[in-house]
Structures are given as C-alpha cells and as structure tokens.
A and B are shown apart, each in its own frame.
Chain A
Amino acid sequence: DTGVSQDPRHKITKRGQNVTFRCDPISEHNRLYWYRQTLGQGPEFLTYFQNEAQLEKSRLLSDRFSAERPKGSFSTLEIQRTEQGDSAMYLCASKRQGGTSETQYFGPGTRLLVL
C-alpha cells in the first residue's frame, strides 16, 4: 500500500453513461497525476495538478474528460458519454514537489469497462 487510494476499484458501465473516479493522494503531496493504461501497454499521462491548479492536459484528454482537485487534496476524473474505447485502467499518482524525492506514488487504479 503506497498511501494513495482510488475509488472505485472497478467500474462497469454502459456506453453513453457518465462515470466519476476519485483519487486520494498522500496528504502532504502537492502534485497529483492521472494516467491511463490499456491492456498490455504502459501507462500514458493524462493530466496533472499542482495543488488545486490543473497545469497540463494531454491530447488524450478529450473534451469528454474533466478533472478537478478543488481543495488541493483529493481529485476526481469524470468521463462523460463513455465510449468503448475508454475501457482502461485509470491510475492516479502523487508526489511532493520541491522535496528531494522524485518518486511518484501510484494508487491501485480504477479499472473501467464500457459495454
């Protein structure tokens, strides 16, 4: 257990539905990252926050995706009008920017299946 938690761990939804995932980072970590991993591939960067500010979004993050980190603590990732191609593992990671460690600590992931 790295100290980063994600909820839910699994989500099955029908195409066209909206889904929301939550990530709780390690409490003193000011950076929070979202990645997506499809089967048999390495994770791909989606977006990251420094405190509550979303500082970068990948081109993978279409306008159906939105992420927030309202108080600089937990974060949510919402996918609207889900498509079968959204089926993947969504991983959250956190780190403390400005410290000596450059390690990102990953949560267990949320596995999404869109039927």
Chain B
Amino acid sequence: SQQGEEDPQALSIQEGENATMNCSYKTSINNLQWYRQNSGRGLVHLILIRSNEREKHSGRLRVTLDTSKKSSSLLITASRAADTASYFCATVGGEIKAAGNKLTFGGGTRVLVKP
C-alpha cells in the first residue's frame, strides 16, 4: 500500500518557473527521500532528508520536512525542460526494526516543463 499522497498529481509550468510538490505520509519515519522517474525508466535518487532535519538543499532542489504534520515538500527552482518527469517521495519507517529500510512510495507528481 502507498504510504502517502502527493499533491498535486500533475503540474504544468513554463521553463524558468519554480515547481513545488508536496508529500504527506502516515507513520513515523527514519528518513524521507525524493526520486525522479523519466517516462518508462527506472528511478533516480534526488535527495534524502532525515527525520531530525527540517530543510535540505541540493543544487536547484530544496526539500523541507515537517514531522509534526507528516509532510514534505520538494521545490525545483528555475525549471528546465529536462526536469519533465514524475517525482516520488518515499519514506523509510521509523520503527526500531525498520524492515530492511524498504521504501514506501507515494503516488507521484507528474511534472511537465514547457520550453
């Protein structure tokens, strides 16, 4: 079953604009990760934020985490056509026996960046 929901399900923006997507989850977590998937391809890891962190940056990516609201956001600044992809958040559970660090994914946000 999916851990949480992503919002919006789809996003269409012009090149140069910022893209923001949100992820909500249900249970306690050890960390939350964001992945990108180009159409019909495998997933590429973008960024990881631990449960004791609130914000993290990597290049044009900014991730926030609010554990009190069980939510995270991913911001892509100055988007490019090459950013067109589906973006998924995934959590690793916070239980002591966090079952093998398996990832529990949300449903994804499909982002279209128009040139």
Contacts and interface: CB of A to CB of B under 8 A. Distances in A.
A50 B35 CA distance: 23
Contacts of A45: 102-104
Contact of A102 (B44, B48, B99): B48
B44 A106 contact: yes
B42 A109 contact: yes
A43 interface: yes
Nearest to B47: A103
A108 B41 contact: yes
A42 B100 contact: no
Interface residues of A, number: 30
A50 B1 contact: no
B84 interface: no
Contacts of B43: 43, 91, 93, 106
Interface of B: 1-2, 31, 33, 35, 40-45, 48, 88, 90, 92, 99-108
Interface of A: 2, 4, 6, 31, 33, 35, 40-45, 48, 50, 55-56, 89, 91, 93, 95, 97, 102-109, 111
16 contacts: A6-B42, A31-B100, A42-B88, A42-B106, A43-B43, A43-B103, A44-B105, A45-B104, A55-B100, A56-B100, A89-B40, A91-B42, A106-B43, A106-B44, A108-B42, A109-B40
Given A44-B105, A106-B45, 15 more contacts: A2-B44, A42-B88, A42-B106, A43-B88, A43-B103, A48-B100, A56-B100, A89-B40, A91-B42, A95-B101, A103-B33, A106-B42, A106-B44, A108-B41, A111-B40
